[in-house]
Structure 1
Amino acid sequence: MTRSALLLALGLSLGSASVSRAQTGTPSGTVRTDTIWSQSLGVYKALVVYLPPSYRANARTRYPLLVYLHGRTGSERNWVDAGWLHLTMDSLAHTGAPEAIIAMPDGDDGWYATWNQLGDVNACRADTTRREPAATYCVPWTRYDDYIARDIVSHMDSRYRTVARRESRGIAGLSMGGFGAITLALQYPDVFAAAASHSGVVSPRYLGPKPFAPPPRYANTTAELQASARNLWSDLRWVMGKDTIGWNARDPGHMAQRLQQLVQQRAASAGPRLPQLMFDVGADDAYVDQNRDLHATLTRLGVPHRYAEWPGAHTWSYWQTHSAESLQFLLGNVAGR
């Protein structure tokens, strides 16, 4: 089915990824907010949860778990308030797609990774320009990867009727969250079977050429990495740190290469498996060359993935339009297993 036909089947226009329940008449899921303790971060965190339309009626049914990550400066409510993800999921279910539970966590500006350097907690708490309270944003332990893969998944599996196995979990995100989705799936292949990224910052060391062309050039010094990061440097500098070994450990291309090598070494045993990967980006997005670079890297490595470029930029209009595609991709790789 083409993208246009898919959107029409969902009752969606090409310019909008969802419509109201009143317009479609579809059964609606439930959106709620939990407060959870994160052992990995050392603070309480808000977690938005979507429960599918049949969840309350079918008390014995278990569902796949999808985790959707917000972008930098975002919040746990972004995918609902700006992305209308719950309405898109309702519409997909109405057309016969498998239902799923969706967790949308608060990731601060933490990049969903363990930072290479500890942040300045005191300076964070003294910042009066930030909207989020210091009590939940200024975390003492910056292990945002364990927070998602362990704390969030554990909470969802214990509180809700998820299918608590790797084969029934997928993860997605936009921008910073796209970086998080790809890296978390590669770092925790025992937890997630599939990952999708929209407009992700997926090659943070990429310097050029622009537009992308081989051979690529990558940052090898802190000054070059700062030049590549541009406006992201204020928090990305804590994540990446000052040593290139730390950069490689957090780089999606290097992570994919390491996991592929590990899979090949343990091919005869029940070792790790490569997650299914999908990523897309708008042709006018500032990170389009980073996505092209990751696509070229995965192609060179022989790592299976799905890649697409569409008209659009780094905007909610783009993410609203394409969220149905990541949902379908994840559901196609985790549902019913």
Structure 2
Amino acid sequence: MNPLIKISLVGGWLPTTVWVLGLASLIFLILRLRRGWALRVLISAVLSAVLVFGIHWLLVYAFSLLGEPMPNSVIAWAGLGIFAVLIGGWAMKGSKTLRRALTPIAVVCALLLCGLQINAYFGQYVNLGTLLGASDVNLPTLPSQYAKGMQSSAAPAGQPAVTRWRAPAGLPSRGKLFQAQIPGTSSGFHARAAIVYLPPAYEAAHRPLLPVLVLVAGQPGGPQRWVDAGDLAPIMNAFAKDHDGLAPVTVVVDATGSTSANTMCMDSKIAQAGTYLSKDVPAWIKANLNVQPDNSRWAFGGFSFGGTCAIQMGTMYPRTYPNIIDLSGQLEPEISANKSTTINASFGSDTAGFEAVLPMTLLQEKTYPHSAAYFSVGVNDSHYGPDMAVMAAAAKASGMHVKDVQVPGKAHSWSSARIGLRGGLDFLAKRLGLVP
């Protein structure tokens, strides 16, 4: 395994080095302007602002390449990158050979700083491996010895897994990660490989019937994001350590089909993603894993796009997924900031059909007294925070048992999602049958 792919992008020596080089480069570029530098800096600043806001508007509203507006801090760092390029152009004029050679290097260093800060906001890439698509996690295929069929505990289906459970001697302290292909038998949906976490208790000779947690990552992304950026294994292992080896069997599924696709987690003209998640995935889990067949012990969770997906599953299919962990989700699924574009792409001209399956519509029309939902969002998440408050209030009004949490010091990032997942597990532990 190449040790370079483990170099962190969110802490350690590399971000510090990039900060130093980036700031020094910006100072170098400005000093290279010499006479008339103030006017050139002003012109570059104004032009970069015009360009970044113009490009942002085109990407979000004209071409619908971004599903929603970017946070102000992300726009600011992108603008600083454009500013560095413009200043670099000024600095190249009249420079001697050495300084002319150093100028593009300085521009690259400044751009690296801006890119690093944008990534820090989202927490999308945690190391060089995740950035380059070379994961440092090589997951084996789910082996046959973990498949359904081995003897379960004496606790009957529907009873908490903790019933009569005592961790046997020699039980591992950590769970295991595998990959598995879940076919779209009913939906026809072509998903990438899912990731399966089996907790320590699953290693017992007499396995308890463990609850299930289905997870979805953000978009763009895929199941691997919950391993790389979401720290899935450490979080679940820590939970298992505190609960005598018990934790949910966690299946991270692909709800989009590719990194850039957007199915909106529903059945539409785009794909039958709703059927895949509500029928194909549960059917595969029950057929292939020793888990609790009673869906009252099942949960569905996710971050960002996945959080929106979670509340969609909880409102559309409450008997399948009565427990929800919505981490920084949206008020409603979308492909574009322009709602008509979203509706046309997914439902054609059927606006009523689209509105009828939205979580807010269902929460207002139905009651969910047997459901529970955990909502978590970064306190600095100005875009998704207000949506989350509205959604949590609607869920509570529909009869759901709700907990609504704001994560201090966090924005719309994977660091917020990691904290939220821990809180969601604690909130749902009794309902999932993991505590008495």
What is the TM-score when the length of structure 1 is the normalising length? 0.69
TM-superposed CA distance for 1:310, in Å, is 2.2
Higher-helix-fraction structure: 2
AA at the equivalent of 2:431: N
Structure 1 unaligned blocks of 5 or more: 1-15, 17-25, 120-141, 206-224, 264-272
Task: Give the equivalent residue in structure 1 for 2:177.
Answer: 31
Task: Give the equivalent residue in structure 1 for 2:277.
Answer: 148
- Structure of greater relative contact order (alpha carbons < 8 Å, 6+ residues apart): 1
TM-superposed CA distance for 1:278, in Å, is 1.4
Which of these residues, 226, 243, 247, is aligned with residue 99 of structure 1?
A: 247
CA distance 1:240–1:87, change in 2 (3 Å):
farther
Alpha-carbon displacement from aligned partner over 1:40-94 (angstroms, at most 9, x marks no partner): 1343541100000121233432211110111111101111111111211111111
Q: Counterpart of 2:200 in 1: which secondary structure?
A: coil
1:295 paired with 2:424, answer: no
Alpha-carbon displacement from aligned partner over 1:79-133 (angstroms, at most 9, x marks no partner): 1111111211111111126422000001112222112xx24xxxxxxxxxxxxxx
CA RMSD, Structure 1 to Structure 2 (Å)? 2.7
TM-superposed CA distance for 1:31, in Å, is 0.2
Preserved contact between residue 343 and residue 349 of structure 2 (Cα < 8 Å): no
Task: Give the equivalent residue in structure 2 for 1:330.
Answer: 428
Provide the rounded CA distance (Å) in 2 between the counterparts of 1:236 and 1:89.
Answer: 37
Task: Give the equivalent residue in structure 2 for 1:246.
Answer: 353
TM-superposed CA distance for 1:276, in Å, is 0.8
Alpha-carbon displacement from aligned partner over 1:205-246 (angstroms, at most 9, x marks no partner): 9xxxxxxxxxxxxxxxxxxx95466xxx97776346543312
Preserved contact between residue 38 and residue 45 of structure 1 (Cα < 8 Å): no
Which of these residues, 46, 64, 73, is aligned with residue 211 of structure 2?
A: 64
Alpha-carbon displacement from aligned partner over 1:139-197 (angstroms, at most 9, x marks no partner): xxx11111112111111111110011111111111111111111111111221221110
Which of these residues, 292, 298, 308, is aligned with residue 163 of structure 1?
A: 292
Q: Counterpart of 2:180 in 1: which secondary structure?
A: strand
Preserved contact between residue 111 and residue 236 of structure 1 (Cα < 8 Å): no
TM-superposed CA distance for 1:301, in Å, is 4.7
Task: Give the equivalent residue in structure 2 for 1:137.
Answer: none
Provide the rounded CA distance (Å) in 1 between the counterparts of 2:301 and 2:399.
Answer: 22
Q: Counterpart of 2:203 in 1: which secondary structure?
A: coil
Preserved contact between residue 343 and residue 350 of structure 2 (Cα < 8 Å): no
Provide the rounded CA distance (Å) in 2 between the counterparts of 1:143 and 1:102.
Answer: 22
Which of these residues, 304, 308, 315, is aligned with residue 179 of structure 1?
A: 308
Provide the rounded CA distance (Å) in 1 between the counterparts of 2:412 and 2:282.
Answer: 28
Provide the rounded CA distance (Å) in 1 between the counterparts of 2:426 and 2:401.
Answer: 17
Preserved contact between residue 407 and residue 420 of structure 2 (Cα < 8 Å): no
Q: Counterpart of 2:251 in 1: which secondary structure?
A: strand
Provide the rounded CA distance (Å) in 2 between the counterparts of 1:240 and 1:308.
Answer: 33
190-199 or 56-65, which moves further after superposition?
A: 56-65
Task: Give the equivalent residue in structure 2 for 1:43.
Answer: 190
Task: Give the equivalent residue in structure 2 for 1:277.
Answer: 373
1:190 paired with 2:190, answer: no
TM-superposed CA distance for 1:204, in Å, is 5.3
AA at the equivalent of 2:195: V
CA distance 1:170–1:37, change in 2 (3 Å):
same
1:259 paired with 2:355, answer: no
**Greater Rg, structure 1 or structure 2?**
2
Alpha-carbon displacement from aligned partner over 1:301-320 (angstroms, at most 9, x marks no partner): 55442112223111112112
Provide the rounded CA distance (Å) in 2 between the counterparts of 1:243 and 1:72.
Answer: 25
Task: Give the equivalent residue in structure 2 for 1:74.
Answer: 221
Provide the rounded CA distance (Å) in 2 between the counterparts of 1:70 and 1:236.
Answer: 23
TM-superposed CA distance for 1:247, in Å, is 3.0
Preserved contact between residue 177 and residue 200 of structure 1 (Cα < 8 Å): yes
TM-superposed CA distance for 1:297, in Å, is 2.9
Higher-strand-fraction structure: 1
Provide the rounded CA distance (Å) in 2 between the counterparts of 1:242 and 1:255.
Answer: 21
Task: Give the equivalent residue in structure 1 for 2:411.
Answer: 313
Provide the rounded CA distance (Å) in 2 between the counterparts of 1:241 and 1:275.
Answer: 32
1:111 paired with 2:264, answer: yes
CA distance 1:236–1:164, change in 2 (3 Å):
farther
Preserved contact between residue 200 and residue 291 of structure 1 (Cα < 8 Å): yes
User: Where in structure 1 do 4 or more consecutive aligned residues deviate above 6 Å?
Assistant: 233-236
Structure 2 unaligned blocks of 5 or more: 1-122, 124-171, 257-261
Provide the rounded CA distance (Å) in 2 between the counterparts of 1:153 and 1:204.
Answer: 22
AA at the equivalent of 1:151: D
Preserved contact between residue 65 and residue 170 of structure 1 (Cα < 8 Å): yes
AA at the equivalent of 1:308: V
User: Between the two proteins, what is the percent identity of the paired residues?
Assistant: 24
